[in-house]
Amino acid sequence: MAAPRDPARRALRADLLDFTADPGLGTPSPAALRHRPDHWLLIEHGRIAGVLPGSEGPGDDWQREDHRGRLLLPGLIDTHVHSVQLDVVASYGSELLDWLERYTFPAEARHADAEHAAAQANAFTDALLAHGTTAAVVFPSVHAASVDALFAAARARGMRLIAGKVLMDRHAPDGLRDDVGRARDECEALIARWHGSDRLAYAVTPRFAATSTPAQLAMAGALLRRHQGLYMQTHVAENRAEVAWVAQLFPEARSYLDVYHRHGLLGERAVLAHGIWLDDADRARLADSGAQIAHCPGSNLFLGSGLFDWQAMAEAKVPVSLASDVGGGTSLSMLRAMADAYRVQALRGVRLSAFRALHAATLGAARALHLDHEIGSLEPGRSADLTVWDWAVGAVPLARDALARDLHERLFAWVMLGDERNLVATLVAGRTRYRRGSDVAGVQGRPKKAASVARAATAGVIGAVAGSGP
């Protein structure tokens, strides 16, 4: 009689891929990559317990899922995204400042209603999981109710999430402005309620320099000094008109970034989105502070904001992670963010490797957030935040995948041709939170094997192409 299977012990068989170091920006180097085809990943009580070759499966007391021919990665990390902007994704418009006035601010104003905020937070966190994102750094709205709703939704799903009430006390519509005293009191209450609870962390969140007075920015800096371990998130140097506006509002500052430095907002837990229009002195300041840039290529292309200089950041030793920036970006898929990052760098004359792009959404992001002890890799002891992917979906991607000559070429095709349709399952702390084709979170059924089906389909496509006439 077979031993009963322990629900706290799961084993997934697939092609395991993660990083042990930064693979570098340009020419792909496999030295930092750990690729283990056909291996079992063992999970006990929500954490990674070890790895076994496929031929040495775990005992009968393990719950086993066979994903041979599929790719198993750490959960993806989105370091800049707006939970309250799902309603304005893909809104036709102009540049950043007009887009905020026309679309974003009206959408965010609706989050004053706690019921709407809760519904949107649940939809947002489910959407992240359905795109393979298990951890995120998130902007809710200025309303405390939107922060409570977002943290509650993330906690219910076991997710690692960093967020905080948006601070805006000027240059915003009625209903989206706070004041220094109220903002401080609300932040203190939210920090006490959520920071360090389960897998949640609070981020002091000035929207951007133009929408906060010097007094509010000073208050934000004081919060960071008062509470150990807080993050800080904001926007910087996204758009040339925005940069010029900030220069008018803060004439004493050397640069847009210097505004944040002067108010004590830069540090090793600072996440600054965009950073397109920065100079060498700014990059040196970032490197000295330990702050990271959350590169948002999809949003930058969609709004026409500019082309991020990743090479200059790398040379200055500034950490760079990847982000969707929805709703400025048009998809929550981090694969699409990686593909857009490649396009942005190609326009700058740099060829971004698939290794570096994926690193920026896994181990690189985790290290920049000081969370690599918990997420970002397949190391034993890490939380079992995992994603399982088909290498290719559809006739053209299957044919391309079959012709890949090495691992980088295969991974690059996956990045450029893949998206959330490639996602098979998302696990958070060892529990299935999304499975393709199922509306029920946590379903434990065994999916159909992918390898034989995919290879057979690929062979058919290639044969048809080879046998076709002009």
Please calculate the CA angle 250-254-259 and round it to the nearest 5 degrees: 50
Give strand pairing partners of 6.
Answer: 62
Q: What's the pLDDT score for residue 359?
A: 98
Are 240 and 386 in the same domain? Answer: no
Cβ-based neighbours of 377, under 8 Å, separated by 6 or more: 18, 19, 20, 74, 362, 363, 366
Same domain, 314 and 459: no
Please state which of the ranges 290-299, 404-413, 425-434, 453-462 shows the lowest mean pLDDT. Answer: 453-462
Please check whether residue 162 lies inside any domain of the structure.
yes
Q: How does the average pLDDT of the chain come out, rounded?
A: 90
**235: in domain:** yes
In a domain, 347, yes or no: no
Residue 459, pLDDT score: 33
- Structure confidence at residue 113 (pLDDT): 80
Do the strands 133-139 and 76-82 form a parallel or antiparallel pair, or are they unpaired? parallel
Residue 455 has pLDDT above 90, yes or no: no
pLDDT digits (tens, 9 = 90+) for 198-256: 999 999 999 999 999 999 999 999 999 999 999 999 999 999 999 999 999 999 999 99
Do 214 and 99 sit in the same domain of this protein? yes
Domain that holds residue 59: 6-75+382-467
pLDDT 10s digits, 119-163 = 999 999 999 999 999 999 999 999 999 999 999 999 999 999 999
pTM confidence score: 0.91
Question: Count of domains in the chain?
Answer: 2
Residue 451's CATH number: 2.30.40.10
Q: Do 120 and 147 fall into the same domain?
A: yes
State whether 276 and 129 are in the same domain: yes
pLDDT of 32 reads 94
Query: Is the residue at 342 inside a domain?
Result: no
pLDDT confidence of residue 462: 27
102: CATH:
3.20.20.140
Could you read off the pLDDT of 306-323 as tens digits, one per residue? 999 999 999 999 999 999
Clarify whether residues 317 and 390 are in a common domain.
no
Contacts 24+ apart (CB under 8 A), 29-33: 29/353, 29/355, 30/355, 30/407, 30/408, 32/355, 32/359, 33/355, 33/407
Indicate whether 449 pLDDT > 70: no
